[in-house]
A and B are shown apart, each in its own frame.
Chain A
Amino acid sequence: MKKLLLIKKDLTLIIGFFLGIILLYLFLPKNKISFNDLAYEEYTKRVMGYVNGERVHCNDLDDIYLCVESYKKNGSGNPVILWFGNSQLHSINSYTQGDETASSLLHMALRKKGYYLITFSQPNANLQEHYLLFSYLLNQFPVKNLILSTVYDDMREDEIRTSINKTLEDAYVLNEVDKTTIGKNLIINYKKKYLINNDTIAREETNHDYWENLINKKLEKIWPLWSERDLLRGHLFYNLYLLRNTILGIDATTIRKKILGPYIKNMTAYKEILNLAEKKKIGILVYIQPIRNDMKIPYDLNEYNLFKKEIATISEISGAYFSNLENIVPNEFWGQTASINLKNYKDLDFMHFQAEGHQLLSKNILYEFNKINK
């Protein structure tokens, strides 16, 4: 009887172990998921700016080589205008064949004036990321101007994505950003994140690290699920996000409050972008990004107004040109988005407009740009 009980105990652990493994396989998504593109689904399409088949619009360091090649081929020698923004610049709501983004349209318009526009946009891009990217691109292109989109929603963001953090592997960027407090902070966080985000990376060259890397690599070969763990983590967090939104009744119209920590960091990064531009004698056009205005916007209005005021004041002090473009896209040119919770209904899209919106944005930016480059 005693032996029988022991066997039962053994089985508990073994059965539990195998149940856990089965659970992992059941949870593993069938297809690779791009977590950046989850918000798009059927309503919005990701469209990168092309002109005559050449890329003039990139995301980050992962695809920058395409824009560099295009510039070398078509625009070499021309002064470069950089345009930074978030997913609004590379998304077209209710897309139809032939629709173009503002980046393509503005590129064509500026080419006629002898400028070469290159756009960089990332979903939920924050100003700290723009600061790193700007520092990096200064050493890649002969930059004349920077067009900078400022988004209240993205002031809540604080994560620096890996494809932007890579800029800190560049000695020029490292040296440049190390001169500022926010830059120093970004370097420290980069070093920390580099270790955390690499499941199998060596910390230092110790025996332990050597063996850990070796065993991890062997395990990945023997058991493919081991290398899919980042996907499982992402999938788990995404589902928790949907669950949280469902339980707390969060949707696209829910008011997003200012988060002081990221807000201060992003505002500091914004000042450093302007300082760097001033130092390098680069003209800047700062604008408040268009937002849907047929509904109550999902911001605390007092906080939003203060944000706009602060952006304008800082740009004025630094000699940058400021323009508020929040209302340039009429209501009919906006659309819908997939739900951000488990309830299966559509949500209003406050961020991405239709092709007509892109035309208007391009036209307005050109108008403002002409003012600073008379």
Chain B
Amino acid sequence: MYFNSLTYLLFLFLFTLLYWQSNLQVRIILIFTSSLLFYGFSGLEFLWILLFSITFNWFLAKYLINLNKSYRFFLLLISLTFNIGLLFYFKYLIFFINNMVIFSNFLGIKVDPFFLNIILPLGISFYTFQIISYVLDVYRGTIKPENNFILFGCYVIFFPQLVAGPILRSSEIIPQFLKKTKFSYDHIIVGLTRILYGLFLKVFLADNIAPLVDYGYAIPANTLSAIDVWTLAFLFGFQIYFDFSAYSHIAVGSARVIGIYIPENFNFPYMATSPKEFWKRWHISLSSWVRDYIYLFLTRLKVFNKSTGGFVIKFNQIQFFPLFITWGIMGLWHGANWTFLVWGIYHFLFICINRLIAPLTRNLNTIIAWWGGLIFTIPAMMLAWVPFRAQSVSDVVIMWFKIFDLKSYTQLSMRENTYLVTFMIFCGFFITYFLKKKIFNQFKTKLFSEKIFNCFLISFIIFFVIIFFRSNNQFIYFQF
């Protein structure tokens, strides 16, 4: 089921109605069955894989805790092999085989290409990461294994976050399922408002930007100019932001209507003043997952506990190799293509640059540092989207090199509206940020003004959502 569909809205309405009428036990069963229904609506064939994965990992984690250290580790390895193997089979096998064929032929060993028809199950990257974090936490003793299978199932397949996150930790969500929340209009109002915001971002902004982006990236890379590359980088940057943050808004809102709080996944990422800060604002649940389960795992010997407390990583002790591996995994998590690896390496390089220059900027005036950081970070992060959207690594290289070709700053390859729309969104993004952070806070002190403002804002959103509501445009992150 897709969030931007009437089917989902009807489903959510009926689910919410039943949820608030039920007692705690029924609520848990309702979440589990509704989530299965939600997933099964798009095709039953992958439901079995999901159910098997949940059952298998639940059993392993349940019995792992009672075993001695070596057996525990053995079961952990089985679980990791199973989960990563599942992900590898569905997501990376074709890519791996294709590259092996190319590599063999390059070495002079003649291998004929062969074709596999493997369809990626919806949300597999997300729920697999969620299951891995659970098993690892149980293994480390951070959490106790969940004895109730249905409750564990709810954690993995809770429908608002099942297909494209946020990637939750069991400790964040299971206690909420166990709490009998009292009905409050506030939940409904806040939840619906978040859903409306999400729909607006998706159906009005992201879906209307999409044809411009598709058009631009369909133009042969060598005929694009520097202005085109910048425009496409920014435009796709905004498209993916609106699209993915829309999903997160709807996820947060859908959970909120039944009184469940899901952590935020975005916080105005393009207002980041450094690449490091960008990753604290963009897809927060993934970056924190990668930090906790990959980066800190790889660097655990390199960090030390300072007497003042907390983990401190000294610059000269930073291990670039773990950082490189982390970003490589982060890149390939998004898809089986070299372009995603390039994307990961690009971010790795900028994080390194960030760490190198950070000590030099510490003494700068706050305003200068803020503006300087912003002016450096936005274009750098936007250019990172080029490999995310381009068809091949060669296209990425051509496009990136174009920006250094000063002669090509005078030529345009796309319709004038593309540049105009990009400029307007760019300005609109900043205006919205300042309105929300500076002006809107003043409204909050004047209740009446806030109500009027909200009325107009909602009517404006309703107007555009109804006009542009279409269920045919999938969310970008569904493909990951």
Residue ranges of A at the interface with B (Cβ–Cβ < 8 Å): 6, 8-13, 15-24, 27, 156, 158, 185, 192, 195-196, 198-199, 201, 203, 206-208, 211-212, 215-216, 219, 225, 229, 232-233, 236, 244, 257, 259-262, 264
Q: Report whether over half of chain A's contact residues are helix, strand or loop; otherwise say mixed.
A: helix
Residues of B within 8 A of A196 (CB): 211, 470, 472-473
Say yes or no: B472 contacts A195, CB within 8 Å: yes
Query: CA of A22 to CA of B463 in the docked complex: distance in angstroms?
Result: 9
Query: CA of A328 to CA of B50 in the docked complex: distance in angstroms?
Result: 71
Say yes or no: A257 contacts B467, CB within 8 Å: no
Q: Report whether over half of chain B's contact residues are helix, strand or loop; otherwise say mixed.
A: helix
Query: CA of A156 to CA of B412 in the docked complex: distance in angstroms?
Result: 12
Query: CA of A27 to CA of B5 in the docked complex: distance in angstroms?
Result: 24
Option from A19, A23, A201 in Cβ contact (under 8 Å) with B472: A201
B77 at the interface (CB under 8 A from A): no
Return 14 A-B CB contacts under 8 Å, by A number: A6-B185, A8-B451, A11-B451, A17-B462, A21-B466, A23-B459, A196-B470, A199-B470, A233-B467, A244-B417, A259-B413, A259-B414, A260-B225, A260-B412
Query: CA of A237 to CA of B467 in the docked complex: distance in angstroms?
Result: 11
The 9 closest A-B pairs by CB, nearest first: A16-B458, A20-B462, A19-B459, A260-B413, A20-B459, A261-B219, A215-B6, A211-B7, A208-B41
Of the listed stretches B90-98, B186-194, B305-313, chain A binds B186-194
Say yes or no: A208 contacts B412, CB within 8 Å: no
CB distance from B14 to the nearest CB of A (A): 12
CB < 8 Å A-B pair total: 131
A188 closest partner in B (C-beta): B218
Query: CA of A27 to CA of B460 in the docked complex: distance in angstroms?
Result: 12
B435 at the interface (CB under 8 A from A): no
Residues of B within 8 A of A16 (CB): 454-459, 461-462
Query: CA of A113 to CA of B220 in the docked complex: distance in angstroms?
Result: 46
Query: CA of A195 to CA of B2 in the docked complex: distance in angstroms?
Result: 15
Option from A13, A216, A257 in Cβ contact (under 8 Å) with B6: A216
Residue from B454, B456, B458 with most neighbouring chain A CB atoms (10 Å): B458
CB distance from B131 to the nearest CB of A (A): 25
CB distance from B44 to the nearest CB of A (A): 8
Query: CA of A13 to CA of B457 in the docked complex: distance in angstroms?
Result: 10
Query: CA of A22 to CA of B413 in the docked complex: distance in angstroms?
Result: 41
B85 at the interface (CB under 8 A from A): no
B392 at the interface (CB under 8 A from A): no
Option from A6, A24, A203, A207 in Cβ contact (under 8 Å) with B463: A24
Residues of B within 8 A of A198 (CB): 472
Say yes or no: B1 contacts A208, CB within 8 Å: yes
B 1-27 binary contact with A (CB < 8 Å = 1; else 0) = 110011100100000000000000000
Residues of B within 8 A of A257 (CB): 412, 416
CB distance from B42 to the nearest CB of A (A): 5
Residues of A within 8 A of B215 (CB): 158, 261
Query: CA of A24 to CA of B413 in the docked complex: distance in angstroms?
Result: 36
Say yes or no: B470 contacts A12, CB within 8 Å: no
A244 closest partner in B (C-beta): B420
A257 closest partner in B (C-beta): B412
B 37-55 binary contact with A (CB < 8 Å = 1; else 0) = 0001111000000000000
B214 at the interface (CB under 8 A from A): yes
Query: CA of A199 to CA of B463 in the docked complex: distance in angstroms?
Result: 17
Say yes or no: B415 contacts A20, CB within 8 Å: no
Residues of A within 8 A of B469 (CB): 229
Say yes or no: B5 contacts A10, CB within 8 Å: no
Within 8 A of A (CB), among B182-213: 185-186, 189, 192-193, 211
Option from B5, B186, B466 in Cβ contact (under 8 Å) with A212: B5
CB distance from B461 to the nearest CB of A (A): 7
Query: CA of A58 to CA of B1 in the docked complex: distance in angstroms?
Result: 43
Residues of B within 8 A of A199 (CB): 470, 472
Residues of A within 8 A of B186 (CB): 6, 9
A233 closest partner in B (C-beta): B467
CB distance from A174 to the nearest CB of B (A): 20
CB distance from B38 to the nearest CB of A (A): 10
Query: CA of A142 to CA of B414 in the docked complex: distance in angstroms?
Result: 38
Known contacts A20-B462, A212-B5, A216-B6: does B413 contact A13 (CB below 8 Å)?
Answer: no
Query: CA of A211 to CA of B7 in the docked complex: distance in angstroms?
Result: 6
Residues of B within 8 A of A215 (CB): 6-7, 10
CB distance from A97 to the nearest CB of B (A): 39
CB distance from A209 to the nearest CB of B (A): 9
Residues of A within 8 A of B214 (CB): 192
B433 at the interface (CB under 8 A from A): no
CB distance from B194 to the nearest CB of A (A): 12
Residues of A within 8 A of B461 (CB): 16, 20
Within 8 A of A (CB), among B206-245: 211, 214-216, 218-220, 223, 225
B480 at the interface (CB under 8 A from A): no
B350 at the interface (CB under 8 A from A): no
Say yes or no: B223 contacts A261, CB within 8 Å: yes
Residues of B within 8 A of A212 (CB): 5-7, 471
Residues of A within 8 A of B211 (CB): 196
Option from B185, B220, B415 in Cβ contact (under 8 Å) with A10: B185
B411 at the interface (CB under 8 A from A): yes
Residues of A within 8 A of B412 (CB): 257, 259-260
B411 closest partner in A (C-beta): A260
CB distance from A186 to the nearest CB of B (A): 11
CB distance from B249 to the nearest CB of A (A): 15
A223 closest partner in B (C-beta): B466
B468 at the interface (CB under 8 A from A): yes
Residues of A within 8 A of B185 (CB): 6, 9-10
Query: CA of A180 to CA of B218 in the docked complex: distance in angstroms?
Result: 16
Beyond A206-B43, A212-B471, A259-B414, 11 additional contacts (C-beta under 8 Å) are A12-B455, A20-B459, A23-B459, A158-B215, A196-B473, A198-B472, A207-B42, A208-B1, A215-B6, A229-B466, A260-B411
